[in-house]
Structure 1
């Protein structure tokens, strides 16, 4: 199954399993039944753990994935993750993590490896032309609005902080500053909205992006899936891998992409940055800002 077909079929995965059920072997039918009843757990189980839970071999699990048209079990697992990652409650996330993170001595290595994998996958899959277009649009826009809700606000704030060093037309949309619509009411077709959106996708982020779209703004979404609610509203999507570790969302790869955007814009505004920092250094020295 190619990637395009896989993505299109993710939402129909349970229906596919049910449609193929009569053609499956006895062991594969046990797997199918288990997935239909426990797909939220299976999405984060290895092939060996799934086989152990069902009472079949790991090779039977792999053959089951192949029977559904997937290149291997990891591809089937990705499909299941697409189905459920926005539906899992925080309690469910913690319950699932108990199995993988129960040994305290392995937590550090597991989390670091997961973050490394997220960055590696993002590096391999991110559309370079989409990234270049996003960078150029930032420079061409009359005003740059940046949005991120809940944990994504941290990355949005980071991007806004450094873009403010380079440019003087950056506005971070802040929920603690009142109604977000009031902050973007003057937005028009010459502006850009950069929105960070990761599971569990914030409904308000989608609503603000929808309003920005109605104002004609160019929308860049930095998100983990083409099925993210904000994706259909976007003119440009930067897909970033963001697997979760327990109830904590991994924002390492989104932060890295934000870093790359900052550097890309900065390299096109080198002279202005030099002058800016020259003036800042004089102020810092005058007021003894640093030890």
Structure 2
């Protein structure tokens, strides 16, 4: 059920309980609120009244008829349902509004930091060293690593491929080579690793690449959040962890931290391969003569 439907249902229940008290002005206000509850959660009573074409005080009177002390308390009710309604947050505007609601009164930066810290803290209880080691051992023993993330995960996919290449591993960010994806996958073998990243939902392409990897016998790793956890066939190793609760920032901090842990653990178990490659790359970059802006 979508988050806007959750808010609309909560308003609908209120209207049903107090329908005998409502005036024509109340009905016009409620029509505006029901049409766009996300916007309603962000606006004050004067703004909502203006959009409904009624007297500025009408929103206050409506709130009181619905059992609230005033419009601010009524808006807090709408906001609480927006944040805690259990919606799927498929609507980007709803996600943004829910985050702004959480930040209201506490400060935007403080709210974002609290969200990130809370999401990172829960990783301690979900992701264990053995999970990280399963990923790093697969990477260490691979001939080649193909990394794929779509949407917001694409930026992390590119970063993982970059770091693996600098650590001396052959890694390809499939997302940046869409026009050559077939060529990259055609050579896939049991000696390769496919690392999939999926947040919010796994795209059809993720499932298609996973099926090809399974058919070719390649090892598949998946780093997902719970909404995208279902990948068929199941990956050989998967880490699924929340990037934050509904209404929180749900940024890349959590999956990026896990990816960094995997690459760091890889350096600890590959007999110095990563460290030697990083040293050699630093020397090359300093002496290659390429324009510094390219590096």
Distance 1:277 1:129, change over 3 A: closer
Task: Spell out the pairing of 1:67-106 with structure 2 (5 A cutoff).
Answer: 80=86, 84-85=88-89, 88-103=90-105, 106=107
Q: State the Cα deviation string for residues 47-85 of structure 1 (Å, max 9, x = none).
A: xxxxxxx989xxxxxxxxxxxxxxxxxxxx79x46xx25
> Alpha carbons of 1:216 and 1:286: their partners in 2 closer, same or farther (altered >3 Å)?
closer
Cα distance in 2 for residues equivalent to 1:166 and 1:146: 15
Tell me, in whole angstroms, the C-alpha distance in 1 between the residues paired with 2:132 and 2:283: 35
The alpha-carbon deviation at position 149 of structure 1 amounts to 0.8
Provide the residue aligned with 2:135 in structure 1: 134
- CA change 1:145–1:280 in 2 (3 A) is closer
After superposition, residues 235-274 of structure 1 pair within 5 angstroms as 235-243=236-244, 249-274=250-275
- 1:14 corresponds to: none
1:144 to partner: Cα distance: 1.3
**1:285: Cα distance to partner?**
3.7
Quote how far apart the aligned CAs of 1:116 are. 0.9
Secondary structure in structure 1 of the residue aligned to 2:212: helix
Structure 1 length-normalised TM: 0.64
RMSD, aligned CA = 4.1
Q: In the alignment, is residue 209 of structure 1 matched against residue 172 of structure 2?
A: no
1:188 aligns with 189
CA distance in 2: counterparts of 1:287 and 1:140, whole angstroms:
30
Q: Structure 1 residue 159 and structure 2 residue 199: aligned?
A: no
Distance 1:274 1:228, change over 3 A: closer
Q: In 1, are the aligned partners of 2:223 and 2:255 still within 8 Å (CA)?
A: yes
CA distance in 2, matches of 1:275, 1:207: 36
Q: Which moved more, 1:247-256 or 1:226-235?
A: 226-235
Contact persistence 1:218–1:235 (CA under 8 A): yes
Cα distance in 2 for residues equivalent to 1:272 and 1:127: 24
What corresponds to 2:110 in structure 1? 109
> How far has the Cα of 1:163 moved from its partner?
1.1
Cα offset, 1:209, TM superposition: 1.9
Task: Provide the residue aligned with 1:19 in structure 2.
Answer: none
- 1:195–1:220 Cα contact (<8 Å) kept: yes
Tell me the SS of whatever aligns to 2:226.
coil
Q: Secondary structure, in 3 states, of the residue corresponding to 1:174?
A: helix
